[in-house]
Structures are given as C-alpha cells and as structure tokens.
Structure 1
Amino acid sequence: MNLPNFDEFRQQALAAGFDEVVAREWAPHTVLDTHAHPFAVHAVVTRGEMWLTINGHTQHLVTGSVFDLEPNVPHDERYGAEGAAYWVARKN
C-alpha cells in the first residue's frame, strides 16, 4: 500500500479547501456510539481497522481506506483489536 506521507496529505487537503488536518489514534476495541460533527471530514486510515456506520450501512475500513462525512451526519465508529490511526482533514 502506497500512502502519501502526512505532509502530502495535509497539503492536498488544504488545497482542496479543508482548514484543519490532524492525525488521530484510537485504542483497541474503542466504540463511539452515534454522534455527529459540525464539520466535513475527509480521512485515510493509516493503521489498523475500523467500522463506520452511517444510516444503518456499515463500512469496514482498513489501512489505505478513505472515507468522507458531510457535517452533522450521525454515525457510529468501532475500532479493531489493534486499534487504528487515521489522518483527517476537517472543513469547519
């Protein structure tokens, strides 16, 4: 899998109109019940695995998977046995 480095991801995201780019780490077996964010999200999983549920549809995301969320979209997150990490660009 050939991921960009964080600086490349950040530069691309800022050029695309995102205004914040951060790296997130999640502990093994973390579960985040239904919640929403007031910002748009574009992210790439850089380690581990997670399950993202939106409107009853669950996506299994692994290293290299990309996901996007519009602002205020209710979703659940569940992380695998090794936890997970991803880079996320936010558009506030």
Structure 2
Amino acid sequence: MQEHLAAFHAQALADGHDTVLERVWPPQAVVDTHTHPFAVRALVTAGEMWLTVDGVTRHLLPGDTFSLNAEQPHAERYGPEGATYWAARRNT
C-alpha cells in the first residue's frame, strides 16, 4: 500500500498539488456542508463515503476518486466502517 501512496504522492506533486495526506474517518461520521481554502483531488482507499456537491450525492468506494475546487461547498457522510482516502491539496 505504501508504494501506491508514494506513486499517488509523486503524481500529485507533478500535477501541481503541494500537500498529500491520508485522511482516516471514523464509522458513521457526518460532516455538514462546509468549504476548504484549497482544491483537492482524492482517492478512496478503504470503507465507503457519500459526498454531496451541488445537491448531487455520490456513493464512493475504494478505487473511486473525487475532486473539489477551493471554497466549493460540500458535505460528507461515512459508512459503518468509516473511510480512508488519500488527498492531494492545492493551496490557493
């Protein structure tokens, strides 16, 4: 798994992202609508989550990706096992 994270990190930096981290969310966590001061591209690596952007909810499983622009409102909900994803951030 670490070699895959290293490859994700290298590609993210090559694409202009400046930070890469692993986010681990607990079971059943809910994050109401919010924004971030950075853009993000992420890859779900474990568990499941639901991401709501512009009124559309996506069910994301391992191997799925998502992207958000800086300051884009979104909400998150995590499954019974929580979820883990790798996030490449581009700070503005």
**Which TM class, normalised by the smaller chain length?**
over 0.9
CA distance in 1 between counterparts of 2:10 and 2:78 reads 27
Residues 38-86 of structure 1, C-alpha deviations (whole Å, 9 max, x = no match): 1000000000000000111000000000000000000000000000000
CA distance in 2 between counterparts of 1:56 and 1:62 reads 19
Gaps of 5+ in 2: none
Q: With structure 1 as the length reference, what TM-score do the two structures score?
A: 0.95
Q: CA RMSD in A?
A: 0.8
- Residues 1:75 and 2:74 are matched in the alignment: yes
CA distance in 2 between counterparts of 1:67 and 1:56 reads 15
Matched residue count: 89
- Residues 1:86 and 2:63 are matched in the alignment: no
Structure 1 residue runs of 4+, over 4 Å off? none
Q: With structure 2 as the length reference, what TM-score do the two structures score?
A: 0.95
Gaps of 5+ in 1: none
